[in-house]
């Protein structure tokens, strides 16, 4: 029973990290960097990404 709960936790955490990578790329940020950060921070990284503004690519 504990093994299946642990597996579900890791699947959910991994899915969240992939979602965060996509969210970061949508805001013109590094998807790989945010994916790695999300593996460590999890939902806190999601909150940070949602609060951060989108990076502008062009000045004018």
* Residue 60 forms part of a structural domain: no
Q: Residue 17 sits in which domain range?
A: 2-51
* Residue 27 forms part of a structural domain: yes
* Residue 42 forms part of a structural domain: yes
Q: What are phi and psi of 18, to 5 degrees?
A: -70, -40
Q: How far is CA 34 from CA 4, 6, 21, 59, in A?
A: 27, 23, 5, 24
Q: For residue 2, what pLDDT is reported?
A: 67
Q: What does pTM read for this prediction?
A: 0.82
HSE-up of 5 (CA within 13 Å, CB side)? 2
* Residue 26 forms part of a structural domain: yes
Task: Give pLDDT tens digits for 20-60.
Answer: 999 999 999 999 999 999 999 999 999 999 999 988 877 66
* Residue 36 forms part of a structural domain: yes
* Residue 58 forms part of a structural domain: no
* Residue 57 forms part of a structural domain: no
Task: Give pLDDT tens digits for 1-27.
Answer: 567 788 888 899 999 999 999 999 999
Tally of domains within the chain: 1
* Residue 56 forms part of a structural domain: no
Cβ 54 vs Cβ 27: under 8 Å: yes
């Amino acid at each position: 029973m504990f093994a299946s709960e642990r597996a579900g936790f890791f699947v959910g955490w991994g899915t969240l990290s992939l979602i965060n990578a996509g969210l970061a790329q949508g805001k013109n940020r590094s998807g790989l960097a945010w994916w790695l950060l999300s593996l460590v921070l999890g939902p806190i990284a999601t909150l940070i990404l949602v609060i951060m503004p989108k990076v502008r690519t062009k000045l004018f």
